């Protein structure tokens, strides 16, 4: 059930991050939005553990996943602008 919950939270975080961060170089589609949110959750968990906000084995919640997804989306936009 943990994987399914991560996918659901990742999808919701990806959707919210796409609405918060405007831009033309956004990934689109269900799968890319879900991957964006899941990667954002992992980024938020990693940063939170590195900064001491989360203990070992504790993951980021929805807010942390959204913040992580926004970070990933901003990086995606910078990388895609350089390629174009």
The CA distance from 11 to 45, in Å, is 16
Write the pLDDT tens digit of every residue in 16-74: 888 887 666 566 666 777 788 788 888 777 887 888 877 777 766 788 888 888 888 88
Please choose, from the candidates 6, 19, 21, 12, the residue with its C-alpha nearest in 3D space to the C-alpha of residue 71: 21
The ranges assigned to domains in the chain are: 2-83
Is 84 a residue whose pLDDT tops 60? no
Query: What confidence score (pLDDT) does residue 1 get?
Result: 47
DSSP letter at 24 equals: S
Confidence of residue 75 (pLDDT cuts 50, 70, 90): confident
Query: What confidence score (pLDDT) does residue 27 get?
Result: 63
């Amino acid at each position: 059930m943990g994987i399914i919950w991560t996918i659901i939270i990742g999808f919701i975080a990806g959707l919210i991050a796409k609405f918060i961060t405007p831009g033309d170089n956004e990934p689109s589609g269900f799968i890319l939005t879900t991957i964006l949110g899941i990667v954002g959750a992992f980024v938020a968990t990693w940063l939170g553990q590195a900064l001491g906000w989360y203990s070992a084995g504790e993951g980021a919640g929805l807010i942390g996943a959204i913040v992580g997804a926004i970070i990933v989306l901003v990086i995606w936009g910078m990388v895609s602008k350089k390629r174009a």
